[in-house]
Chains A and B, each alone.
Chain A
Amino acid sequence: MNGSRELILGRVRDALGDAGEAEALPPRAYRRQGTLEPAARIELLCERIGDYQAQVRRVGAAELAVAIGEAFAAEGAARVCVPGGIPPQWRPEGVELVVDAPLTLEELDGVDGVLTGCTLAIAETGTIVLSAGPAEGRRALTLVPDLHVCVVGEDQVVETVPEAMAPLAKLVRAERRPITFISGPSATSDIELSRVEGVHGPRRLIVLIVNKELQ
Chain B
Amino acid sequence: MSGARGGPQPGDGAMNAAMRPFPAAAGEALRDTRLRANLAGATHTIREKRNRVVAEVPDWPQLREAGRAIKVEVLAHLDTYLEAFEQAVTDAGGHVHWAPDAAAANQVVLDVARAHQVSEIVKVKSLTTDEIGLNDALAAGGVHAIETDLAELILQLDGDWSSHILVPAIHLNRTEIRDLFRATIADPSLGDDPRELAEASRRYLRERFLTARMAVSGANFGVADSGTVCVVESEGNGRMCTTLPPVLVTILGIEKLVPTFGDLEVFLQLLPRSSTGERMNPYTSLWTGVTPGDGPQEFHVVLLDGGRTRVLADQVGRQALHCIRCSACLNVCPVYSRTGGHAYGSIYPGPIGAILTPQLYGIEAAPTLPFASSLCGACYEVCPVMIDIPSVLLHLREKAVAAGAKPGERLAMKAVSWIFGGRRRFAAAARLGRLGQRPLVRRGRIVRLPAPLAAWTRTRDLRPLSSESFRDWWERRR
Contacts and interface: CB of A to CB of B under 8 A. Distances in A.
Interface in B48-98: 58-59, 62-63, 65-66, 69-70, 72-73, 75-79, 82-83, 86, 92, 97-98
27 contacts: A5-B86, A8-B100, A8-B305, A11-B305, A12-B78, A16-B76, A28-B66, A29-B66, A30-B66, A51-B279, A122-B280, A124-B279, A132-B291, A138-B293, A139-B285, A161-B268, A169-B261, A178-B288, A180-B239, A181-B285, A189-B234, A190-B167, A190-B168, A191-B198, A199-B198, A200-B148, A201-B239
B305 A106 contact: no
A172 B309 contact: no
A22 B469 CA distance: 6
B279 A23 contact: no
B119 interface: no
B279 A106 contact: no
Interface in A144-193: 144, 161-162, 164-166, 168-169, 172-173, 176-193
Nearest to B209: A200
Contacts of B272: 125
B309 A15 contact: yes
Contacts of B173: 192
A24 interface: yes
B135 interface: no
A105 B210 contact: yes
A184 to B, nearest CB: 6
B121 interface: no
A51 to B, nearest CB: 8
B69 A26 contact: yes
A72 B314 CA distance: 58
Interface of B: 38, 41-42, 45-46, 58-59, 62-63, 65-66, 69-70, 72-73, 75-79, 82-83, 86, 92, 97-100, 104, 148-151, 154, 167-169, 173-174, 177, 194-195, 197-198, 201-202, 205-206, 209-210, 226, 228, 234-237, 239-240, 243-244, 254, 260-262, 264-266, 268-269, 272, 276, 278-289, 291, 293-295, 303, 305, 309-310, 312-313, 463-470, 473
A215 interface: no
Contacts of A213: none
Interface of A: 1, 4-5, 7-9, 11-16, 19-24, 26-31, 48, 51-52, 102, 105-106, 109, 122, 124-127, 132, 138-140, 143-144, 161-162, 164-166, 168-169, 172-173, 176-194, 196, 198-201
A7 B202 CA distance: 43
Contacts of B279: 48, 51, 124-126, 183
Among A13, A139, A178: residue with most chain B CB under 10 A? A178
B104 A4 contact: yes
A49 to B, nearest CB: 10
A200 B202 contact: yes
Which 8 pairs show the lowest CB-CB distances between chains A and B? A201-B236, A26-B69, A200-B236, A186-B236, A11-B309, A15-B313, A181-B284, A138-B294
Contacts of A122: 280
Given A29-B59, A143-B243, A188-B234, A165 B312 contact: no
Contacts of A4: 97-100, 104
Given A22-B467, A132-B294, A199-B202, A193 B46 contact: yes
A181 B197 CA distance: 26
Given A8-B305, A9-B82, A13-B79, A140 B244 contact: yes
Nearest to B477: A25
Contacts of B294: 132, 138-140, 178
A109 B235 contact: no
Contacts of A180: 239, 283-286
Contacts of B284: 180-181
B268 A29 contact: no
Contacts of A168: 261
Nearest to B151: A190
A215 B454 CA distance: 58
Among A51, A180, A185, A186: residue with most chain B CB under 10 A? A186
A178 B291 CA distance: 7
A11 B205 CA distance: 41
Nearest to A165: B265
B458 to A, nearest CB: 15
B98 A12 contact: no
Given A1-B98, A4-B98, A191 B194 contact: yes
